[in-house]
Amino acid sequence: MKRAGFDNIWLPVALLLPQLMIIAIFFYWPAGWALQSSFFLQDPFGFGSTYVGAENYTSLLGNDQYKRIAWFTVVFSVLVTFFSLAIALLLAVKADKVLRGARTYRTLLMWVYAIAPPVAGFLGILFFDQSTGPLTKFFQMFGWDFKLGVDYNATATAMVIVAVWKQIPVNFIFFLSGLQSIPRSVREAAMIDNRSATGRFWQVTFPLLAPTAFFLLIINITYALFDTFGIIDALMKGEPGNNPMTLVYKVYIDGFRGNDLGGSSAQSVVLMALVLILTVFQFRLLERRIHYT
Amino acid sequence: MTNLKLCATAATIAFTATAAFAETEITWWHAMGGQLGETVNQIAQDFNASQDEYKITPIYKGSYEETLTAGIAAFRAGEQPNVMQVFDAGAATVIGAKGATIPVQDLLSNNGADFDINDYIAGVRYFYADSDGKMIGMPFNSSTPIMYYNIDALEAAGVTPPKTWEEFQSTTAPALKDAGYVALSQSHLPWIFTENFMSRHDLPFATNNNGYDGTDTEILVNNDAIKAHFTAVSEWKENGMFEWYGTGWGDNQKPFEEGKVAIWLGSSGSFGGLLQKDLPFEFSAVELPYWEAVTTEPTQTFIGGAALFAMSGKSDEENKATAEFFRFLTAPETQYFWHQETGYVPITEAAYEVAKKDGHYDRFPAAEVGITQLSAKAGENTKGYRMGFYVQIRDIMNREYGRILTGETDVETAFKTIEAEANALLARFAKTQS
């Protein structure tokens, strides 16, 4: 086999340059600024600033509220990732079996994909309206005095439900195409070996879906951590109050609502480090167990 | 060739002509949405129509917090508007940044307008002033929390609007409850039940003269009077005499408009909006109640709402235009129009007189409540407050009050938390100011 290559070093550099520039401008440059301003306390208008060393970081560690938000972020991400993957997988497996009207089902299931997170949040507000929301009434049937924006757990539940609902279609599309790419011969061979459909699913289908599932796992964790911002913002209706929030939202609240640039920068640096650790962990530990065909 | 020259000459003349008659254009960023925004646009139009030298363009920038953040970002990029509306909680931030704004007092006197702080009604004079009493921001939409009530509901229950919280607790609320109403809701716990609780009872809110005299300020929110108040409020809630519908303003106003809640504590600036809504019941307003156990002589409340700041870094011509606009804005007719349309108080004595003479308060007695309350007896601690990172301090209060009212924490712990977190923020703010 002949190895493809470039004769001239400048051509590949030139081809890479646009991408590298985008990363530099939109990631390294602001990240550097964030790192720098995390060591200062700065007047919002930019007149004065004091170097405070690691104070912005140490004050985070001692802050109970920050710990509470960090804990909520973990719980929220686990719930959103688990439920949006599990429900989407179930729907994909069922949709895969449907023979008549399959396209209609699929289109209907994918529809939500087109909705932007803030719009999903506003739909959530309608569904969870304190007096007229159908889902509010549903929870009240079970004796839970469900009030969005009043009760911490109620607001958290609403956030999880809307975030899961919004993410299911993406997972569904990937799972379905993953399922459809499993060769018919493999499935038929499995049918002979194992009569139980559940057994076949866990022993044959699921391992073959693993690369898709791993990819989706990363996508979903990132989604729960960062892309749910719009949903959380909408469901809070502009008032943090005693509502739950994620770490990313806290960065925004402190920086853009409270104008505490130093504190907000320190938080975003912490978040950057967390994402780095998470990525390393995912690729080192999880990817080893997955076989790509 | 001649033709070309002719054209060029014509063009030059045309160009100079437009330049000579060009209006000085200024921009005004504000946070007034809905009906308030329409009134703001009307005022701008009237100003533009009143003369042909200056033209102001109002731009809606979202909520108060969003407007302040947008203004700060714009200032740092050198693209600030000429006039920016900043709300009460952002006052320390914008006034602390000396050099970001031109004190309105200087702006007006430098541009040949008379300025006398005593032309303004007592309650609005010093909130947006520095520690020497120089006015920095022009009070614009000045409001204060007042008590709205459903006349039909109170009649049905056979009670009159309560003067004191003791009366509310022992007489008004139980009667309203028996008549099938939730007695009370309010729309802003930090503003109504904290800041104005302090001024109504003349209690110090912060050290350093409520924060005006320095940045090494500590908050004095953890006191027995306010803790007793919140203990009472959570008892009322348990007994079905008070309801809290979350931190959002509208969520607490809506049940009053629907007739479920009999008494609602809101802004004097809510009056215009309520009037327009054509509610299915008669409503009126009275001054905010007080605790007789704390004081027998209630004092004036703080102004809430927002002020207009003239941003620095603009040409003299544009500053002149801004000064002219402020002059137009404080004219009695403009103030009276604004007062009538929105319910925000007129900021000058002259405008107040015009409203009185016109019989506005005979037609709508509730419209005067805000002004009488702002002009009530002054005390040591009723001038205002000045605390940095105050938007976050309010958020902390909202969070802890919400937790008290949903039973997640108790009053004692909550106020300790507020005190500790607020003082930590104030100490941080002090470091940003060096």
CATH code of residue B341: 3.40.190.10
Confidence band, pLDDT 50/70/90 cuts, at residue B188: very high
pLDDT of residue A292: 64
Domains plus CATH for chain A?
48-289 (1.10.3720.10)
pLDDT of residue B127: 92
Within this chain, do residues B260 and B154 fall inside the same structural domain, yes or no?
A: yes
pLDDT at A291 over 70: no
pLDDT of residue A293: 54
The domain tally of chain B equals: 2
Range of the domain at B65: 25-143+303-368
pLDDT of residue B1: 44
Within this chain, do residues B231 and B250 fall inside the same structural domain, yes or no?
A: yes
Confidence band, pLDDT 50/70/90 cuts, at residue A52: very high
- Specify the DSSP element, H or E, that contains B412: helix B411-432
pLDDT of residue B17: 46
Pairing of strands B24-30, B54-60: parallel
Within this chain, do residues B259 and B398 fall inside the same structural domain, yes or no?
A: yes
pLDDT at B11 over 70: no
Confidence band, pLDDT 50/70/90 cuts, at residue B400: very high
Within this chain, do residues B123 and B168 fall inside the same structural domain, yes or no?
A: no
Residues of B in contact with A43 (CB under 8 A): 96-97, 432-433
pLDDT of residue B19: 46
* Token pair listed for B57: 């363009």
pLDDT of residue B396: 97
Residue B403 and residue B411: Cα distance in Å, rounded?
9
**B69, B392, B432: residue with CB nearest A41:** B432
pLDDT of residue B113: 81
ipTM of the complex: 0.87
Residue A149 and residue A204: Cα distance in Å, rounded?
45
Residue A35 and residue A266: Cα distance in Å, rounded?
7
Residue B335 and residue B276: Cα distance in Å, rounded?
19
pLDDT at B101 over 90: yes
Domain-embedded: residue B355: yes
pLDDT at A286 over 80: no
pLDDT at A94 over 70: yes
Domain-embedded: residue B433: no
pLDDT of residue A138: 94
Most confident of A193-207, B16-30, B91-105: B91-105
Domain-embedded: residue B262: yes
Q: Note the pLDDT tens digit of each residue in B167-180.
A: 999 999 999 999 99
Mean pLDDT confidence for B219-247: 97
Lowest mean pLDDT segment, chosen from A101-105, B79-83, B321-325: A101-105
Domain-embedded: residue B107: yes
- Specify the DSSP element, H or E, that contains A51: strand A49-51
Within this chain, do residues B291 and B399 fall inside the same structural domain, yes or no?
A: yes
What's the pTM value of the predicted model, to 2 decimals?
0.90
- Residues 405-434, chain B, touching A (beta carbon < 8 A): 405-406, 408, 421, 424-425, 428, 431-434
In chain A, the residue whose alpha carbon lies closest to the alpha carbon of B390 is A258
Q: Note the pLDDT tens digit of each residue in A154-205.
A: 999 999 999 999 999 999 999 999 998 888 888 888 888 888 888 888 888 8
Give me the helix-helix angle, A206-222 and A64-97, nearest 10°: 140
Angle subtended at Cα A12 by Cα A11 and Cα A17, rounded to the nearest 5 degrees: 100
pLDDT at B197 over 90: yes
Q: Note the pLDDT tens digit of each residue in A110-163.
A: 888 888 888 999 999 999 998 889 999 999 999 998 999 999 999 999 999 999
Within this chain, do residues B126 and B179 fall inside the same structural domain, yes or no?
A: no
Within this chain, do residues B201 and B326 fall inside the same structural domain, yes or no?
A: no
- Residues 197-216, chain A, touching B (beta carbon < 8 A): none
Within this chain, do residues B114 and B209 fall inside the same structural domain, yes or no?
A: no
- Specify the DSSP element, H or E, that contains A220: helix A206-222
DSSP code, position B290: B
Domain-embedded: residue B176: yes
In chain A, the residue whose alpha carbon lies closest to the alpha carbon of B424 is A59
In chain B, the residue whose alpha carbon lies closest to the alpha carbon of A47 is B97
Please classify residue B220 by burial: count the beta carbons closer than 10 Å to its beta carbon, then call 0-12 exposed, 13-18 middle and 19+ buried: middle
Residues of B in contact with A148 (CB under 8 A): 246
Q: Note the pLDDT tens digit of each residue in B36-90.
A: 899 999 999 999 999 999 999 999 999 999 999 999 999 999 999 999 999 999 9
- CB neighbourhood size of B267 (10 A): 25
Within this chain, do residues B234 and B268 fall inside the same structural domain, yes or no?
A: yes
In chain A, the residue whose alpha carbon lies closest to the alpha carbon of B70 is A256
pLDDT at B13 over 70: no
pLDDT of residue B124: 86
- The answer to whether residues B55 and B322 touch, using CB atoms and an 8 Å cutoff, is no
Within this chain, do residues B187 and B252 fall inside the same structural domain, yes or no?
A: yes
pLDDT at B217 over 80: yes
Q: Note the pLDDT tens digit of each residue in A230-280.
A: 999 999 988 999 999 999 999 999 999 999 999 999 999 999 999 899 888
Within this chain, do residues B195 and B117 fall inside the same structural domain, yes or no?
A: no
pLDDT of residue A284: 81
Domain-embedded: residue B430: no
Candidates B86, B247, B387, B390: best to mutate against A (most CBs of A within 10 A) is B247
pLDDT of residue A130: 87
Inter-chain CB proximity B246 and A253 less than 8 Å: no
pLDDT of residue B9: 53
pLDDT of residue A97: 81
Domain-embedded: residue B216: yes
Within this chain, do residues B268 and B159 fall inside the same structural domain, yes or no?
A: yes
